[in-house]
Structure 1
Amino acid sequence: MPDLRLRAAALLLSACGQALAQGAAAGPAADELPAPRLRLEPRLSELLATDDQGRPSYASADVIRGRVDHDLTLRGEAEVRRAGTVIRAERIRMLAADDELVAVGNVRVVRQGSVFSGPALQLRMEDSTGIFLSPSFALGLLGGRGRAERLEFLGEGRVAMQDAVYTGCRADDPDWFVRAQRLEIDQQREEGSGRSAGLFFRGRQVLAAPVFGFPLGEGRRSGFLPPSFSYTTRSGAELLAPYYFDIAPNRDLTLYPRFMTLRGLQLGGQLRYLEPRASGDLRAEFTPRDTATGESRLYWSGLHNYANVGGWSGQVNARGVSDDNYFVDYSRSILASSDRVLPRDAFATRNWRDWTVLLRATRYQSILDARAAPPYERLPQLSLSRIDRDIGGFEFEQLFDATRFRRPLADSVEGNRLVAYPRVAYPLIRPGWFITPRVGVHLSSYRLDQTGADPVSLNRSVPIGSLEAGLVFERPTRLFGRELTQTLEPRLFYVRSPYRDQSAFPVFDTGVADFNFAQLFSDNTFVGNDRIADQNQLTTALVSRMVDPGSGVEAVRLAFGQRTYFSEQRVAIPGVAPRTDPHSDLLLAGSAVLGGGMSLDAGLQYSVRDSSVPRVNLLWRYLPADGRIFNAGVRYLRDELGQVDTSWRWPVSAGWMALGRVNYSWLRRRTDPSTLTVIDAQPGIIEAIAGFERNADCWTLRFVLQRFVTAAGVSTSTFFIQLELAGLARIGSDPFDILRRNIPGYRLPADRPSLPSRYFGYE
């Protein structure tokens, strides 16, 4: 057969050959066969059809010899394509009968973003099986690369390698790699496994395993998760070896035994589930015998959410511990160690006609100092609410609540409370101004149970009226060369409610509201339904904003507010002195986006009576785009809180970041909020972390030391170390949640490139 000298000319091979053979044997003329046509697609899909049977092959080369339906030999820049697979070599032989090819010399295979290169290849195209000698590979969609002495194609997306090296690094001399006697990669399931393997990091072997598995993507798979190691002064050295069960696409279970040198073995587990109308998270940690106390220890929690089950939606949320000191001994954060009241709450809500119905039951486990004054439990609560808007310009609000209160404390007053609070408003809102008059009446009835006495009934009705009005002025302005819109927004709020003697009424769930801008415009200075304040007061406020007219971003905001009282306060909560001043403290607030990643938030409460500052909140943040972070803040509340808080993430050398936070309290005496008594306080660091982070091409190393106060005179120190190998695993305890909570703005390094599309570097 004469030579066919073709360069870059595609020939339709197997499909056309079969069609010609069938046509010669049976039937229609060649001109009756439909011509091959290209199909237009509106977008490039990442997913390709996996069935290669019957699909045509295309070939090109400097020289092609042979028969299309039997045996072809391609020489010189040979190339074969079929269904997303491209094979290039110096010489390719194609056997049509077995749908097989043999390639020799600088062989290169590209399939769905993955690239394999080596000296020789034998491949069966129909089922993607074959052998590749001494290949190197790059799994484009999964980010891994490496080399092997021998590679076997086991079918669609599956390969097995002998004497293989695998890494997630892009450099030719990788910082880490896995060397295995046998390594299998399954791109469809996004998982890898190996035998007789070792993990090498910076030239040293750090782990060895007879068998191991690792994920190649974010998909879930059952198996052991990387172990973690940490250290705390309360529990000693800790080794955690979790095992993950991928039960179903909507369920999983993690078992995490933890060994602690000072407390022994702890067994932990977490079950998660997701249903069409429900989801949940169940967790338990059990220490059969705490070697430090000689007792068994237990923590458990359960969270169940459901939606539209018979028209009802709601939640069940419960937590519990075996003893008062569990969080002191086992907590790994200051938030967990400060828990004193653990709720066990269940509620269900639904819409019924125009009403919203709420059913609730709440109990608590009180520990440590909270045992002296536990909160009241709601057993049960029924609430109905309704809002009707724009009925002839009016708004009608209705609230009805019935609750049974119980308290696990001797000689506590318990009983039932009924509340009704209908209100009507007539809002007038126009461009540049608004005014809203509102009137209502708060009705309540109590039936109290008292030890050794007959039940007592109490009733109360308090009318409440308010008037709110405001103006909005705007003008264009310039600030530091920026075109902005400045607003001036004065606002008034007057509220009036008469005095009712409430000294005989219990306090089930009510407290004094925090003094802030939102509370300035509330119609009750108490939170809860057990006290309705006697009020004759006017709130005056002024807000000015500078807004980018194009984006709507608020560049600067300043606010001022104060109350004027026209009568003395008579209704109070036991143990809290009533107000006597004719004016409230001044509230000042401001925020600004300064540019260059800097922002400032400030809040100040100024006492006119004694020219003092009872409350200050300041926060300066610096978060430029390069990942540096510096936060500095001050929090002060007279007789309760006085703290300086700084945190940072800052480069100290090439690739290394210093991480840290210091939260320092300067108070020497403070008021205990539960007993309202003044107690001694010890100045010092409440919480601190210090660490380093190294972010390289394909790995990240973190060292974090944390110290925090768990109780008066008691503190805990913890140490975390984690090595994150891109595309393989995270080894060690994960400090990310701790860093994110302690360093506002902290996030995982984002400079590592995302995995490419299969069309990246398309050949």
Structure 2
Amino acid sequence: MLRRNTNLPRSKSGSLLAFAALPFFVFSGGLLPAQVSAAAPSAAPQSAQNEGQNPVDFTADTLVFNEREQIVTATGNVEFIQNEKIVRAQKVTYNLTTEVVKGIGEVTFLEPDGNVYFAKDIEFTKDLADGFAREFRAVLVDGSRFNAETGKRVDANELIMTKASYTPCEPCKKNPEKSPPWQIKAREVVHNAEEKTITYDDATFEAFGVPVAYTPYFSHPDGTEDRKSGFLAPGFSFSSQLGAGVETSYYIDIAPDLDATVGANVYTEQLPLLLGQVRKRFEKAEVEVNGGVTYSDRRLDDGGVTEEARGHLFSQGLWNIDEKWRAGFQTELVSDDQYARQYDITSEDVLDNYIYAERFSGRDYAAIRSLYFQDIRVRERETDQPTILPEIEALFMGDADSFLGGRFSGGFTALGLNKSETGEDSFRVTGDVGWKSRYILPIGLINSVELSARGDSYYTPDRDGVEGQSAYRFYPYAHWETKMPFARDFEDVQAVITPQVALTVAPDIDNENASIPNDDSRDLQIDTSNIFEPNRFPGYDRVEDNSRITYGLRTGLYDRNTNEIEVFLGQSYRFKEDADLFADGSGLEEQKSDYVGEIKASYQDNLSLNYRFQFSGDDFEPIRHEVDSLVAGGPFSLSSTYLYAESLDETDVVDTREQLKTYLTTELSEQWSVTTGAIYDFAEENDGFRRASLGVTYNHQCYTLGATLQKNYTRKRVGESSTEFFVRLGLKNIGEFEG
């Protein structure tokens, strides 16, 4: 029963119990209004509220005022509630003379977000800026726990805990006192609410109760903001080329729109790799710059080794000028073709560098750009990568059904190519207009008609005493495509058969004009994605002239659960033979093209198959096979990619390629998984493994531990094969330590 003594004096800032409740909310991050009316005596919970303030509800078995000592005491199941925040204690006292508030006996504070704080007793003095708690504990909403011998709040900003520990691991259900999988113990832990950091003095990292690492000082963000200056989690690795390595980096939060990261990768077999990153945001733009520099060994073509300065510079930027215009750039530069893979900078074969500006307006598009490519494939190259200075493009598209049931379109391009190695520079200007319509007949026949005309102009400047040349080309065509789907429903599936035919009419074009170089149309290869295109060359430099017919058949079975199996087979036939137009291996070098097709199948999440093929149009000999598959069932998941492709003239693909990639993941339990992978080449001259790897991962509620062993079998120009070992340790709420 709540009992209140008579003639109770009021505190300076409101009712006694409301003021007594305030320290608990301040200690745990909450805040009560200073002015709250006193509650009347009652056996039920009471509400206190001043005009404009939130109410404070409280209950207690007794409420007593000692007039001689000027102490107000609430005892027995004391509870305060405000804004869904709850404070409970067995006893609360407030000394009006010293203005000290004490909570005694299993003090508990519950926040609306689920965080819970505990203390054996707690005390605040004067203006509530300072406080002290004994046997302090905290259980956060994510399960993380703090335990401390004492907790002290200073200036309402810092919470200082002594002999404290932190862990995000859930306690053992059978033995809650058992040491967690990992925790950080420290002589002192300080949480600075203003700087939003947690710092540890004399910190020891424990694994299963065993100390494994010590640091005199450790700090990390408290998780309440995304960015905070400090050391990032280190990484560890081993490579047969670089030796054992450790990656250290420091993040610098310079301003809300600017930050930087500096660091170094230190190796036992090579000098350190110094790294840096800067990121800047503007009102309508953003820029990021990454770079690295070192002085290390590089293998020469003759097998020798030289030591030299090496590095990389990567950057990118984007400027959203207005609703229609934007501009940007990207740089990807490395010192040599071995550096990027040796230091795991990128796995790309050709690095793209460009600057551009582009405009979007409805269906229209315009752009101007310049490009530079750095080829870092570690082998002899057949292609001289050009520099594009510049490329201009404008595309226009009219409204649908604006003329004869179709829409007009137009385009303009201009291109300048510079080849530093061969000096074969060229300039090109093109313009085209077209009309396209799509309609469906009442019987279900789907038709599309396209009319197009394009003019090209080329100029090749003087080179090696040869006078510059100009060339012009006019390329019109008409293209009609029709298909008729036939569907039949069965009990559980629907069967669909769709024959498809296309007729393309075009004049005879002189594609052997020496004044027209071929820079963007070399890698033509027929497949299911381009067989019905009116011009199957991927670029502008070559056009597919003369007339032809293309035909194919697509059939499939589909059920209501999105399971399906689909098959396509197609071929094209040119009315006039032109053996010199297409490269050998393209599938179009004969009057009758190769057969191309695709088989796709999927069943729930357990089976996925995509088989793409090309067979000779004469004798059905295999030219190309590409198979992507995924089989998953129970604890196993196997993904595979198989490629077989014969050589393609006029490209870097000068040898027959045959390669198999496989990855197998086995879930041994909810925590344990094993991953194996391999890349195997079947090519006659370079048959054998290219890469093999084995990885083991353990996932726990509060940490992840993984290890991967990888063997790289490299070609002679890179040097010796390499062995790498990676370890990844992820600690909940702290970060990942990997290499």
TM (normalized to structure 1)? 0.81
Aligned match of 1:399: 411
Aligned match of 2:393: 383
Aligned match of 2:703: 699
Correspondence 1:521-560 to 2 at 5 A = 521-547=532-558, 553=562, 555-560=564-569
Aligned match of 1:165: 165
CA–CA separation in structure 1 for the residues paired with 2:258 and 2:552: 52
Question: Given the superposition, is the C-alpha separation of residues 222 and 666 from structure 1 closer, same or farther in structure 2, using an over 3 Å criterion?
Answer: same
**Structure 1 residue corresponding to 2:607, chosen from 585, 594, 598:** 598
Correspondence 1:574-589 to 2 at 5 A = 579=588, 581-589=590-598
Q: Does 1:117 align with 2:124?
A: no
Q: Does 1:66 align with 2:75?
A: no
CA–CA separation in structure 1 for the residues paired with 2:247 and 2:450: 59
Write the letter of the residue equivalent to 1:61. A
CA–CA separation in structure 1 for the residues paired with 2:475 and 2:249: 59
How many aligned residue pairs are there? 678
Deviation for aligned residue 1:564: 2.5
Deviation for aligned residue 1:576: 7.8
Aligned match of 1:303: 316
Aligned match of 1:226: 233
Write the letter of the residue equivalent to 1:707. K
SS for the counterpart of 1:529 is coil
Aligned match of 1:468: 481
Write the letter of the residue equivalent to 2:479. S
Q: Does 1:651 align with 2:651?
A: no
Write the letter of the residue equivalent to 2:477. I
Aligned match of 1:435: 447
Write the letter of the residue equivalent to 1:103. G
Correspondence 1:353-392 to 2 at 5 A = 355-367=364-376, 369=379, 373-389=383-399, 390-392=401-403
Question: Given the superposition, is the C-alpha separation of residues 492 and 153 from structure 1 closer, same or farther in structure 2, using an over 3 Å criterion?
Answer: farther
CA–CA separation in structure 2 for the residues paired with 1:623 and 1:153: 55
Deviation for aligned residue 1:408: 0.5
Deviation for aligned residue 1:692: 0.6
CA–CA separation in structure 2 for the residues paired with 1:202 and 1:651: 24
CA–CA separation in structure 2 for the residues paired with 1:537 and 1:571: 16
CA–CA separation in structure 1 for the residues paired with 2:497 and 2:587: 34
**Deviations 1:159-215 (CA, angstroms, capped at 9, x unpaired):** 220010111101233110001011123567653211111111123222211111123
Question: Given the superposition, is the C-alpha separation of residues 360 and 18 from structure 1 closer, same or farther in structure 2, using an over 3 Å criterion?
Answer: closer
**Structure 2 residue corresponding to 1:688, chosen from 692, 696, 721:** 692
Question: Given the superposition, is the C-alpha separation of residues 127 and 429 from structure 1 closer, same or farther in structure 2, using an over 3 Å criterion?
Answer: farther
Question: Given the superposition, is the C-alpha separation of residues 536 and 85 from structure 1 closer, same or farther in structure 2, using an over 3 Å criterion?
Answer: same
Aligned match of 2:573: 564
Aligned match of 2:430: 419
Correspondence 1:421-500 to 2 at 5 A = 421-429=432-440, 432-451=444-463, 452-478=465-491, 483-500=492-509
CA–CA separation in structure 1 for the residues paired with 2:242 and 2:235: 15
Deviation for aligned residue 1:443: 1.1
Aligned match of 2:326: 313
CA–CA separation in structure 2 for the residues paired with 1:494 and 1:269: 57
Write the letter of the residue equivalent to 2:133. F
Aligned match of 1:27: none
Question: Given the superposition, is the C-alpha separation of residues 203 and 109 from structure 1 closer, same or farther in structure 2, using an over 3 Å criterion?
Answer: same
Q: Does 1:638 align with 2:649?
A: no
CA–CA separation in structure 2 for the residues paired with 1:82 and 1:128: 20
CA–CA separation in structure 1 for the residues paired with 2:48 and 2:94: 24
Deviation for aligned residue 1:18: 5.6
Deviation for aligned residue 1:13: 4.3
Write the letter of the residue equivalent to 1:437. V
Deviates more, 1:250-259 or 1:88-97: 88-97
Deviation for aligned residue 1:375: 2.2
**For structure 1, which runs of at least 5 residues remain unmatched after alignment?**
22-33, 40-53, 669-680, 734-763
CA–CA separation in structure 2 for the residues paired with 1:497 and 1:320: 43
Q: Does 1:237 align with 2:244?
A: yes
CA–CA separation in structure 2 for the residues paired with 1:94 and 1:561: 89
**For structure 2, which runs of at least 5 residues remain unmatched after alignment?**
6-14, 20-31, 39-46, 299-304, 648-655
CA–CA separation in structure 2 for the residues paired with 1:537 and 1:510: 20
Deviates more, 1:295-304 or 1:527-536: 527-536
- Contact 2:221 2:228 (8 Å CA) reproduced: yes
Question: Given the superposition, is the C-alpha separation of residues 371 and 346 from structure 1 closer, same or farther in structure 2, using an over 3 Å criterion?
Answer: farther
Question: Given the superposition, is the C-alpha separation of residues 238 and 587 from structure 1 closer, same or farther in structure 2, using an over 3 Å criterion?
Answer: same
SS for the counterpart of 2:306 is coil
Q: Does 1:514 align with 2:520?
A: no
CA–CA separation in structure 2 for the residues paired with 1:661 and 1:229: 22
CA–CA separation in structure 2 for the residues paired with 1:38 and 1:587: 80
Write the letter of the residue equivalent to 2:334. V
**Structure 1 residue corresponding to 2:183, chosen from 173, 177, 194:** 177
Aligned match of 1:88: 88
Aligned match of 2:220: 214
Deviation for aligned residue 1:688: 2.2
Deviation for aligned residue 1:299: 1.0
Write the letter of the residue equivalent to 1:241. T
Deviation for aligned residue 1:290: 5.2
Write the letter of the residue equivalent to 1:272. R
CA–CA separation in structure 1 for the residues paired with 2:339 and 2:34: 77
- Contact 2:2 2:60 (8 Å CA) reproduced: no
Question: Given the superposition, is the C-alpha separation of residues 161 and 450 from structure 1 closer, same or farther in structure 2, using an over 3 Å criterion?
Answer: same
Deviation for aligned residue 1:704: 0.9
Query: What RMSD in Å do the two structures reach over aligned CA positions?
Result: 3.5
TM (normalized to structure 2)? 0.83
Question: Given the superposition, is the C-alpha separation of residues 251 and 475 from structure 1 closer, same or farther in structure 2, using an over 3 Å criterion?
Answer: farther
CA–CA separation in structure 2 for the residues paired with 1:658 and 1:548: 34
Deviates more, 1:227-236 or 1:647-656: 647-656
CA–CA separation in structure 1 for the residues paired with 2:552 and 2:340: 44
Deviation for aligned residue 1:134: 1.2
- Contact 2:588 2:594 (8 Å CA) reproduced: no
Question: Given the superposition, is the C-alpha separation of residues 511 and 464 from structure 1 closer, same or farther in structure 2, using an over 3 Å criterion?
Answer: same
Question: Given the superposition, is the C-alpha separation of residues 129 and 85 from structure 1 closer, same or farther in structure 2, using an over 3 Å criterion?
Answer: farther
Aligned match of 1:200: 206
Write the letter of the residue equivalent to 1:116. Y
- Contact 2:410 2:433 (8 Å CA) reproduced: yes
- Contact 1:539 1:564 (8 Å CA) reproduced: yes
Question: Given the superposition, is the C-alpha separation of residues 651 and 363 from structure 1 closer, same or farther in structure 2, using an over 3 Å criterion?
Answer: closer
- Contact 1:533 1:571 (8 Å CA) reproduced: no
CA–CA separation in structure 1 for the residues paired with 2:124 and 2:496: 72
Deviation for aligned residue 1:76: 1.9
Deviates more, 1:107-116 or 1:253-262: 107-116
Among all aligned residue pairs of Structure 1 and Structure 2, give the percentage whose two residues are the same amino acid.
23
- Contact 1:568 1:579 (8 Å CA) reproduced: no
Deviation for aligned residue 1:304: 1.2
Write the letter of the residue equivalent to 2:386. Y
CA–CA separation in structure 2 for the residues paired with 1:2 and 1:606: 92
- Contact 2:587 2:616 (8 Å CA) reproduced: no
Deviation for aligned residue 1:57: 3.2
- Contact 1:90 1:105 (8 Å CA) reproduced: yes
